[in-house]
Amino acid sequence: MATETLTLGKALNTGLRRALENDPKVVIMGEDVGKLGGVFRITDGLQKDFGDQRVIDTPLAESGIIGTAVGLAIRGFRPVCEIQFDGFVYPAYDQIVSQVAKMHYRSQGKVRIPMVIRIPYGGGIGAVEHHSESPEAYFAHTAGLKVVTCANPQDAYSMIQQAIASDDPIVFLEPKRRYWEKGQVDLDAPLDAAYPLHSARVARAGTDATVLAYGPMVRTCLDAATAAAEDGRELEVIDLRTLSPLDLTAAYESVKRTGRCVVVHEAPGNLGLGSEIAARITEECFYSLESPVLRVTGFDTPYPASRVEEEYLPDLDRVLDAVDRTFGW
């Protein structure tokens, strides 16, 4: 098997390359994705190898990018749109929720929109305003959209190809602070060999409490679990991977064993994914819970200036504090 050590960003690049090779209907489009290779170089080298008719530099117009992609999808192409930063997606929001999400339903199933909208999201890179947001709840709330996020290079490589092959529109969230983290990637394994696209995975087994996270917070929670183990407390960390539809089967099984649950995400807590997850865990696992489901999230403020973003982002200490509180009830 061809196993390589890749950064998460390089794994995405390799997955996009495979998708372009395997299907001539796949096209990549976005601001600076071609000659520059994207602001994070995720599409580096693809225009050179596949040409400017398949890796397309677009005008700076997010609504136009998504609207054009809808037309391409209707005509049988599989467009992959890059939104340069999370905070730039809002000009395209109308197209996404009014056209992308609803076209299949509106046409009574006659029209499919097989497109992927890639969005680097989250903080932790010292960026300026509008470059460190977590808009996942907007899209997970929208019927007709599927929302997924990778947390490691292997998932980045597999999930981007799975998303492109899907006949449904998918918002693909990429944790930008993790682009440079490395991991082993099996380039030859069947894409569904480990996990189907819309499924969660147990990232670390444990017995004392369940910690649920996704995207950039998975690494933070794994680090918290390592620290907790030094004090004799074994945390089970579950990487949700899919935000819509949510796959909580593994979470239910885990919480019924541990009796305790903490949900972690960067986005503000008010009406965030953590609220929905906590409600479902409580409904399904009520008689197994030893304490309330707790959330560790960003604060209910606009994302702060980069010099104080570490005060805003959930960290190892805040996760461990929440775990401790679940044992104090």
pLDDT at 1 over 70: no
Which residues carry out catalysis?
131
Cα(288)–Cα(273) distance, integer angstroms: 22
DSSP, collapsed to helix, strand or coil, labels residue 292 as coil
Q: For residues 274 and 263, is the Cβ–Cβ distance under 8 A?
A: yes
151: tokens are: 């947390």
pLDDT at 194 over 80: no
Q: For residues 276 and 244, is the Cβ–Cβ distance under 8 A?
A: no
Q: How many residues does the chain have?
A: 329
* From-to residues of CATH 3.40.50.920 in the chain: 201-326
| Class in CATH terms, 3-186 | alpha beta
pLDDT tens string 4-29: 999 999 999 999 999 999 999 999 99
pLDDT tens string 287-324: 999 999 999 999 999 999 999 999 999 999 999 999 99
Q: State what percent of residues in the chain have pLDDT above 70.
A: 99
CATH level 2 (architecture), domain 201-326: 3-Layer(aba) Sandwich (3.40)
pLDDT tens string 42-66: 999 999 999 999 999 999 999 999 9
* From-to residues of CATH 3.40.50.970 in the chain: 3-186
Secondary structure E strands in 88-154: 116-121, 146-149
DSSP, collapsed to helix, strand or coil, labels residue 312 as helix
Cα(45)–Cα(35) distance, integer angstroms: 8
